[in-house]
Structure formats: C-alpha cells, structure tokens
Structure 1
Amino acid sequence: MDKEQESVVLSIGDCITLSVEAGLFGILGTHGQIETELNVVTSASNDPSSICKLRDCRFMVLPMCRYTAAVTYRKSRKKVVESMFDTVYLAKLQKAAEYERQLNALENVKAVGLTVHYGSIIQLLHVKSNRIVTFKKQRPACLERSAVQVLLDECGTDGSWMCVQPCYKHRQMGDPVVIGDHVLLTSVRTGHVLNVTNLPNLLGTDPQCEVNGLQDSLTSWRLSLYLHHKDNVEHVLKGGDVIRLFHTESERFLTCDEYNGHQVFLRTTYRAAATTATSSKALWEVEVIHRDPTRTEAARWNSLYRLRHLATGLYLSVEPNLGESSATTSSMDNRDKLISPLFLTMATKPTIDTVFELESTTAASNANGLVPDRSFVRLRHVNSATWVQSTSVAIDITVDRPIMHKLGCVPLKADKETFSIVPVSATVVRELDFANDAIKQLVSLACAFEENTITDKMVRMLACLLVELVWFLVDGSKLDRGNLFHLLDDVVASRERQKLLREQNIIEQIFRLLRSPVISSLEPCERRPMAANWRTHTESDPFPNNDLTTDASSSPNRSGSTLVSTRSRLDQVRYIGALCYRVLNMAQKGYRKNQEYIAQQLSLMQSHIGLGILASDTIAALLHNNRMLLEKHVTTREVETFIKLLRANYDGRFLKYLADLCISNDRAVAVTQELICHSLLREENEDLLIKTISEDEQVFLLWTKPEVLTDSSQNNTVVEINRHMKISLVELCQAARHHSTNELFHPTHVLDYYQKQIHLFAQMCRERQYIAINYLTSKLPISLLLKCIDNEQVPEELRALHCKLLLHLHLDRAPQDIIQPIQYVRIWRNISLEYQFDSYESSDVQTLEMTHNRDQFTPVIEFVNRYFNSGDLCTAHASLTLEVVSLARCLVYFGFYQLSSLLSLGQRLLFIVDQWACRGQPRIVPDNSSGSNQRTGKSQDYVEPTLKILEIVKFIMDVRLDHAIHCVVAFYQKKIECFSSDSCLEKLSQNEECSLINECIEFALQMKPDTTDCPYFTESDKKSFKPVSDGKSSSSPRLELLDIDGQKGRLMTTVMARLFLSPHKNLVTESLELLFRQHGQYEEFSIAMRQAR
C-alpha cells in the first residue's frame, strides 16, 4: 500500500471529527468542558470547515483498554471503611488500578499506527476534556426514553468500547476503515448504536437535539481526518498546539487583552524573572494551514500559519493604524517613527490578513523540515510581506507605568526581533477551556438573575457550575468529593487556577450574581435574643440536604418554563449565594492579588452579612492576618455593620469577627483597634456588653436582655423592654456544663458570648492601645480578674482569656518597660561597694511609681508561683498554661522578680519543661498508630509555652551574667577605695597595678559552685579551679557563677538534650543555643568583661 493510500486509512492515534446528517449538518462535540453530555454542533452555513476546527469536536482513536481494576476500586471507595482489612484491601485495589492504567498507556503507545478495520473495537477520546465517550446503560436518555445516555467519562468503563460497523454494503467486516466512510458505532456491552435524536420545537425555535445510544439505530457518522498520527510527533509543533510567544529581546509575552476593545501587545512585567509572568491571556492556538480546510498537519518551515487567541477565539492580524492619536505619536521614539503604519491587531474571521510565516533563526534550517516546539522564530506577515517588530508605543498611556506596548510590521527584517516558542501543557489548556466555558454560562445566567427571570433549570445549572468551580480551585480530581462545605479548611487552592478565575472575569460575574435583585430579595436573619440564640443550620454546611447539585440527567427533562415556587426559590437562592461566597473564599485563599481584587467589593459583602449566605465567613477569611487589607479597606462603616448585626442577633460570633480585625499575624492593627474602640465603647452600646462585678468575694455577670411584649391596654401595641439579668459566674459555668435550660436565658450561649467578649477586650488592648485600656481599667481591676483566673470552677478556656486580658490591660502598659538584663556601661559612683548576693538584689532601685506597681502585682506574682508549683499542668490546661507562662515572661522582662526569686522561677520552669519532654517525647515507630498520634498531638500543645519558657531561661542567664560583672566591678571598686585620692591612683607603680588586677581575677575565679557532690566533676577538674596568681598558667578554669536549676547544671543539660531530639526545629534551635551557653560560661564571661566600661 503506497503513501497516498495509507493517508486515507483510519489508524489508531488519528485525530478525527464525526459528522452526521440528521435533518441538518452537524459534528459530534460538546457545548463546553463543564458539561459531560455530547451534542451535535451545527453551522448555519453548513460549511464543515467552519466547525471542524473547533476544539470541542476533536476525538482521538484509541484501542480497547482494560477497566476491571479501576471499576472495582471506584466502587470500593464509595463504601464505608470499617476495619483495617478494608483499608489494606482498598490500598491494594488502588495499586492494581494504577498498574492497570500504566499498562493501558503502554498499550496505547504500542498500538499507534495500527489500521482500524470494520469489526475492530476502539475508543474515542475527547481531546479537549481528556474524557472518553461512554454508554451509560443504567441511565435512560431524556428525549428518547428507550435509549441510554452517552456521556464523557473521565476514567472510562467497559461501556466505552465501541465496535466499528459498516453502514453500506460495499464495505465488509474486516475491510480497513477509510477516511470519509459512513460508519455505525455500536457499544460492545449494551449493543446500542450511537444515535442522534432530533425533535422539532413547536415554538419555532431551534430543535432539541440529543446524542444517545439506541438499539437498531441506523444513524451513520462520517469520519473526517483532522490530524494524522504520523504528524502527531512529540516535541514538534503541529496544528492544534497551544503555545506562548516570548519576545526574547524585550522579555515580554505576546498577549491579548481588553483595553478599549481587544488589543494585542507585548506585556511588560516587573518580576525578577520575566518568564514566570505567565498569563492565560497569552495563550495562542497554532493553526497549520492545509490544502484541505478541515485538516491540519505538523508544522514545517515553509508552512503557513494562523495564530488564534485561545481565550477569545480571535485571530492575530495586521491592519493600518490610521487613527493614531497625536499623543501616542509623540510618545514614539525615532525607531518607531520610521516603521510603516502597520500594527498587529485582532480579527474575528480567518482572512488572508491572518496568515503568517515562521522563519528560523538558524540559516541552515531545511525549508521542508519540521519546526521544533521549543525554537526561536521570526514572524512574517504574508499579505503585506512585512516582519513583526516590537515598539515602544504604549496602549495604556493613561496609567503611570504602561505595561502594554504595540507591535508593528516593517519591510526590513531585524535579527533581534525574535520570538521564543514556549509549549503549554495540556493541563493548562484544559484549565483555560474550563474557565472559558464557565464564563459563558455565568454571563447568561447572571443576565437572568439581574432580570429576575430565573427558572428551576437555571438554578440547578448555576448550582452545579458553582460547585464545579470550587472543585476546580482545589483540584477535585485528586480528592474524594465529599461535603463541599466541610472540605475547604483542609485543602490548598491552586494558585494558577485562582489567577485564572480573576483574569477570565469569573470573579466579576460572581459579584454580578451577588448584586442581582434575586440575592437582594433574601430576608435577613430574624432577630434572635440571647435567650433564643440558635441557628437552624451550621455555617459550615448551610444546606446539608439540598439537592440542587444532583445530576439533572438522571431526572426527566424539564422544559424550564415554569418559575420556581416562592418558598423553594428563596431556599435555593440562599444556597446559590452560599456557593458564590465559597468560590470567593477559595479564590482568595493565600493569593494576595485576588485578595486585593475581592476586597474592592467589601461594602457589597458587608450588605450580605446576616442573610445566611456565608458572607461574614468570607470576610473573616479575607481579612484574617492581612494587615494591608485591614488598614486599607476596614473603615467605620464595616465596624458599625458588625455592631448592628451584634445588636440584631446577640451572637458571639460577631464579637469574634471584631476581635479578628484587631490582629494580623499576631500583631495589633492600631487603625482597626481605634475604630472598634470608638464604635463599640460608646455609651449607647453598653447594653451589648456583659458587665463583670465582684460582690461578697464572688464574681457576678450583669447584662441587659431585650424582650418584646404586647400591651393589651393599648390595642395590642408591641412594646420592647429591657430586662436586667444577674447571675454568678460560677453558677453560669455549672449550668452550662450540665446543659441546663432557663426560661429567661440559655446558659451555654451566655457563657459563649461572655467568653468572646473577654477575648475581644484582650485584643483591643494589645500593644498598649490606651483607648481601650483607659476605658476598661476601672471596670475590670486586677483583683477581679484574679478571682476569675484562680477559680477552678471556671472553664479553663475562660480562665486563660482572663489571664490574657490581665496581661494586656494591666501589665503591658506604662510605666512598665522592658529592662536591660546586661549592663555593660556602669557609672562609677552608682556601683555598690558590696558584691555579695543580697547586695545585688538591693541595688535594683525602683522609682515610687515602679514600687507602687510592684506592690499592685504582688498577688499576680503569688498566683503565678502557686500555679507553677501545683500539679495541674496537664494536657487539659494547655491554653491556661500558655497564658500563665506569657504572664510570667512579661513579669520577668519588666523587672518584677528579684534575683533570688528569678532563680527560683527558673528552677521550677526547667522542671516543668522536663516533665513535658518526658511525657511528650514521640517514640520512633514505623507505623502511625493512634496512640503515637495522640501523644504527638499532646506534645504539640506545649511547643509554644516551652519556647516562651526558654526565653525566660535565656533572660535569667543574662541576669546571672550581669550579676557576675557586677560582683567583679564592685570588688575592684572596693580595692580602689583603699587609696585616698585620685592623685594616689596616678602614682601607682606597674607592679601595684598588676597586683590589683590579679586580685580581681582571683576573686572572679573563686565564684565557682560547690562541686563536692557533683558527679560531673573529677578530682582533676576540681583542682583546675584553684586561683591563678600569674599569667603563666595554661589551665582554663570553668566558671559557673550561680546555680540556675538547683542541680549544679545537670537538669539544665538534661532538659536541653531532650528538647534537641524534638521534631520542632524552633525547639531544637533554642535548646542548642542554651546548651552551648551553659557549657561556655567562662568564655561568655570573659567576652562580657572585655565589653564592660
């Protein structure tokens, strides 16, 4: 068989199109990547060349593949795993399915080029969506009830096997299938024939058409070749490939975007690496022009090309720029003024002006040679015989830093005007296809929402589309598609897909839906006072039983002419709104550019708070730890909205939202703190806050409960009154613990509200925000907060919040300031003559204000010491322990501990860390048992308090070093005083001066610990501590000034060694630093003495 005959025979690996003449000419395809149903794409002109090149209509011929393991695995995944055997069995099935998939891929490669005969079993792969045409024998078709559905399946089943049968008698079974033949495609498993059902519409509109599988159908499909398998060569440019064109000299991508119409330009980027500035608007589909308008081929250097913009479908073209403005002309440099008035533009139809040639930058290239997919080329416009050249003519001249620059065409070729062909993976192309199909559907559905003409079918289509958008963002193909609202906190969104949603205006269309009158028609949440504060559904799953996203194809076809009933419509619209905000939530997650884009609509989202569509959750996620957005977009209007919702619902979650606005990355945001203080702490809002008072050594809570009464004496007039409530904090906690109910209030909700209020107060006072501090100081004194903290009948979380409030309200404020632990510069007259341990403590002179504060915080210090001496530091008190440790750290930093108390605190803290390390040390075992996971989880709770304790220990070691410097300097000063005047000092001889220095050295070396009972020291070590009288001794005595752990350093070494084995790198770093300091004290002291002045 010669080459010409081989070219017309259908082979495995060929890319084909299937056309049918069912009343009107059409080609098998889809109406987008979102839908899985097959359709017949028609053309009004019956011109096959106009639709054969659509990417929706291309199919690749594959051999029969095996699906036994894959089908078994998919069925087993749907079952509930009840035992370890099920888990192991499921893992084996997954491994078998993966191995089967690899075998299928290998067999597909081997089968490429094999001739397809009549009677052969093949599969059809939809190239655009990478899905396989599959007969669904258990799903009846919609228009033809005796037929079965034919869908595009992602994985394929035995329903994907189709037998090629001849349509006419001049073809027999066993003959090769020739391109252009009419064939019947019959399912091997079910015996159904690929059929087209075409029903006329009585209303005069387009007829309804459906592709299905029907027994004994005579529908024939004409095979047309689009790309031969021999042209489908790897690493070679060919028709249908999607590429980027990167201008190598200016380092900019060829891009098409909307700016006063569609413009083509070189986009400037300010990134360090220009090649990383990829955009979906810079993707171009290559069309290699073939003599048959329905075909394409591999690219050659002498081929003709068209470049089709993938996102818009427009063609790259050239036209004269006759309307160039004077402003633009004046901005052109001398080189740009010399070019001909031809610029690149976009065209809607493939005319002669859209034809280009590619020239290789290598002179030795064969004219008939194949074009590599990664090559450097120059673009030549065929019709005008000009070469594409970059210019400095800006399109966006109104902005400060233009990024869009035109491209012109010149008769002369320039060597530097070279483009690099950058191939694009099929995954990126399919992502853009999905976004393009989604935006088309969203635009039409948004119009219906704005006009308030939605139908039941439209609502279902929109719900399915929004769900697919969420799964698209989180790459749902790699996840088990469970409950959408429970999944979002555990997954990471794809950054490139987030960017795609913004660039293709999908986010803008979602805001268009949210601005529609249909969403505005939703009623706000009804007022729920504190006595009846409950929600009918959780925020994480607002509609757990909603069936909007069920497969519409499994139900009978609906005409969609009837509007949805009022009751069900409101519920479904609320579900649509919740899905819109879920998409926005995932679109902004971890992506700054989208966060700034979405934050521009913050006022719109604020207006939806309280409608039950998750607007508040999206705002909280958007502003969480985002300082720039908090300072830029949160104004008094946003804060007042939260306060209004708080008054309408008396729900503690709004207090939590306000608290989140105060903090970003564990740092206070002063701007939002002030806004909240000025808005919430006004006199008219005092009824929103629960007051805390102390009476008879007990803590009581006071609040105002609004009630609505009907006055029968005044014609049943509705009257709103405020009832004043009072209850002991201990009684409230006990009632909430036992879940008891009260006819006036719900204890659990009141306690939750009060807990979030205390948390808000603590965040408002962070980093010395004196507006809140001055307001709350008299209302919540230290004694009152200590009663709440020290009461074991109060829940641990509430005790921790009171402790946190005590820290930020009373301790971390003026006149407290962090002291400098090591004083390298000392004033001679202020140095004490005594150098004993007690004299160092008394030398810390405090001002009257500092002395008053020390006395004021004496109960706080006693509580901290009592807490650390108790045995309640277990896992159940992790949050309280963290806050108490934070409180102790600030007390240490502010100088509230004398040296003796500081050493005692350090010994106790080291003992606590030693207990945690012994209890939480993970065991190195090969399996991940539940016990080991539980132990690791418990140890994780104590990482942060352990780090804070290590900071305290580091501070104590600095104070110990300062004490050593003080003792040596005091001893030196006392020896100097034996001389009567400064004149005597000047008359000191060199021997007397050396003798004085040696005495100071001997004194410093005598400040060593008692090593009689220390097993770490040998006799030779103890002898090395003897005083040195001259500089000839080679021994390096070890200096250990004060016992920091009460065990001669043994506990310190043990604790640091255990923390060094921790899996947390911060603990390892800090423990190593302290361990080196512990065993290098002499060198540290020597360095400090050199710096002392």
Structure 2
Amino acid sequence: MDLLAQMCQDQQYLAIDPPPERQLLNISSELPANLVLKCMSDSRLPHDLRASFTRLMLHLHVVRGSPLNAIRHARLWREIPDKVTISGNPSRSVEGYVDGGRIRTGGEFFVKVLKTVDVYLEDLRKSTREGEAVLSASAAKLDENRLTFEVVTLARALAHFGFYSFADLLRLAHNLLAIADSSPKKHSGISCLICFIGIFTVVTVLYPDANQIRRTKHALVFDSKSAYDKTSSLFRQVTYSVIGVNAMQKAAKQHSSHLQSETQSAEDTARAKESQQVILETKLIIVEILNFIMDVRRDYRITVALSWFKRQFPCDDIGELYSEADLSEQDASRLCEEVFQECEEELDFDGDRGQLLLRILLQMTMSDFSKLTSTALTVLFRHFTQYQEFVEDLKQVQLLVSNDDVENYRQVDRDLFILKILTEKSELWIQADKARSESSSSHSFEEHSSSVDDSPRPLLSVRSTSQQLEEIGLNAPRAFHNDESFRALVEKIDQHYSPAREECIKLLYELLLGDDRALAASALYELSDRTPLIGYPLVRQVCSQTQTIL
C-alpha cells in the first residue's frame, strides 16, 4: 500500500489513470475508492495498515487537479446574495469548475469520506480521559499517532480541494484544536494572565499618579498572587521562544526523561522519539488547516460586506445606483458591526471566543520544532490582525457588473481551467503508434459512451467533420472562432480520431458551449484522456481568445 501510494504521489497520472494505449496498470480501477474507504475505516485492521490505506486514499482519489483559492477578490455583482449565512454559504467548488477528484469518483462518495474523518477525530477525543492530552508520545501509541497524522493530512487535502463547506470547516477546527491541546488541564494560566494584564492596564489609566499606581499594584499582586504564580512560568517561556533563547530545550529534556525509564529498552526509546516527532508533524498540519480556515473566514466576511453594500446601495443590472450614495461614519460603524460583531459567535473556532485557540497556539510556539513554531506564530499574529486583513481585502475586491465584464470573466475562467488541466495531463500526450492509438481511442469511447450525459444535444448528420462542427455551433465566438485553430481541430479529428468523431464533437460541445460547469469539466477530462491530441487546437484557440480580450 505504501508503494502504491508513493507511485501516485504528486498526481502521477501514469500510475493513477494511464491512457489505454500505454497498456499500464490502472491503480484507480484496481483499487476503487469504496474499497479503500472500507479498509481505512475498518477498526479491526491494525493502525499502521489503516494509515497506509488513508495515505493511498489521499494520493489516489482525493488529490486531483489544483487546490482551490480560499479568497476570491473578483466578484460578480449579480451573484452576491442579499442575505449571507454560514449554513447557506456554498463550497468554493460549486462556484467554479470542478476538479478531477469529484469528477472521477462522484461528490456523493466524498460525503462518506468526510463523515469517516469526522467520526475518527471525534472517537479519538472520546477515547481520551478528561484532562489528558489526546496525542500521547509513547512507544505504544506510535502506530495510532501515524494513523492520526494520515487522517489529519487527508482532512487538509479535503479542505484545500473544496470538499468541506464552511460550517463543516468550523466543526473540523473545533475537533482539531481539542486534539492538538497538549495540556487541557492547565487552561486557567493564560486566562489569568490576560485578566491580570487587563486589570493592571485599567488601573494604570484610572490612577495616573505613581504612588497610587504603586499602592494599587501592590494590592493587586497580593490578591492575584496565585494567578501570577501559575502564569509567570508560561509567560517567561513564551518570551524566550519569541526572542530565540533555547529555553524549551530544558523542557524537552524533562519531557524526554519522563518518557524514558530504566526499564525501557532502546527500541522503545526510539519508538517514543519517533512518536513525538509524528505528533509535532501532526500539529503542524493542524496549524496549516487553521490558517486555511482563516482564509475561508476572510472570504466569508467579504461576502457579508458586499451583501451589506448591495442592500444599502441598490443598483440596476448595469451598475447604476438608484440614488446617490453617501457613506457616513455611522454606515461604516454598522458595516463593522455586521461583519465582525454579529458574526463573531458563529465564526468562532473553539466556542470560547478564541481563548482556546490562543492557548494552543502559544503551546505550539514553545515547541522545539522550528517549522511548527514559525507557522503557529504566523497564525497567532493573524488572529490579532483580522481588521487590517479585512480592510486590505476590500481594497482588492473587483466587482464585475456589466454584461461584457461578466462574459469576459467567465470566458477567461473557463480558458484558464482548460489550460490548467491540459498542462497537468501534458505528460500523457505521447502517441507511440498511430494505428494502436486509433483503435484504442475508438474502443475507449465505446466503453465510456455510457458515462456521458444523455441530455438532448443537436443531432449529427453523416457529413464531413467541418460541416458537423459548424452545424453544432463549434465555430461560434465561444468555441473555435479562429480559422487556424478550427482547421487544426478538423485535421486532428480526421487523422487520429475518425472512428469516434461524433462522440468527440459531443464532448467539445459540452465543454465550449454548455452552461453546466460540472459537465464541462467532465467533458474536458474525457477528452484529455481519450483524445489527447485535441489539446493542441484547444490551446491555440484559448491563446487567440485571450489576445482578443486583452
């Protein structure tokens, strides 16, 4: 399983789904997604074997195409909703062209994958006694920690490729924070520290006289002595980690000595160290997921702000305001209240107004794993700069209102998707033998014709390829309007794919003239798999259309 997963890593299509003419092993058909899911979720199997199946699921069936951008600065004015809710916030994949994983396997299947990930994380939390850390760096827990690492890595890919809704991402963040908490019993320290600093700041403002400050501070120290004792050590460790002093080396040695006893063998000691390293890498993945969810939250706040503007300043279809816009300070205050204050509870990661998030991030900054420390600091700083990020996002938003802008945007969006997929599949554009290619292409289309949508399409008469393309409208401006690319398309079909000409033309119609983005994506994947040489006239036409728009 590890070997097969390694073969499929980084989207190696020759291992995942090679073209028939290459006569290679098709791992995705030999190990279908349902079978891999059953194996990775079967609790009767050993943890290390389940981890291997989870890794195989990641590289074989999930990672297809390119990750989605969490933040969209280009928006269509007509598609901005009047009311925005977290439960009604669609996934990014619904609004753009669908990538390969959902096309190959089906969106319904990934609902089961998401449920499997959530059930595993929740069971992991429930199996831990209250007050103890979920992740234990012991030799006996090494295989279980490896499985947890693979499941969290799979969750990161599912998030980046748009399988999670925003509401599901917030629930995922809650589970991940509970798993990453290394000291759940010692949660009062940071809260007391924050309260102490807050009280001292208020006293300083209320009593500017130095003697009064000294007397008041003296009283506070006696009243808060226990809180100060609990938090002073934590405060020093955070300070040392930020300024680069190796303070945590001493803590790491103490933790290591606690794990090791005189009765432990050398093998158990090595497994315990490896288990600790796996835990650190798992926490790194968790922080990366939290950083991505913060980006999704930024995108949601942009949508909330634009929805507020749309309600306050309505306009017609061409962008003309019905009345003169006058944005006052009160309007800006109401906008800030709607974006941040009214949504604060819903957008909370931990259900505790971010206190649990801050405490866990501070724990991670005290790690001796430099990559985890730097990433945790980045997320920690982002937590305190949400207002600045929102202002910068509003400066970068581009609203497309006119019909020409909307049409050009959709055209460029589709063309970029075509270029992206064809570039990723370019390593398969090899024709070893013309005769074998023709026969295999004809055979493959006969096998896959049943998978193509049976919706009504224009009937194709027995005519030349050029006449059929013109009859179906593939010489329109949205399709092969350039004469050179149109002739190249006719030449490729006649020379290499004549037996499957009608099926090829139907797929081109769905890709270039259809309105359903899911069907267009499916048609492009089918064309790139079965008729790869058509990619050349497609790229030529995309370049021609881009020059026209520019």
* TM-score relative to the length of structure 1: 0.26
Between Structure 1 and Structure 2, which shows a larger proportion of helix residues?
Answer: 2
* TM-score relative to the length of structure 2: 0.50
> Which is greater in Rg?
1
The structure whose RCO (Cα within 8 Å, separation 6+) is larger is 2
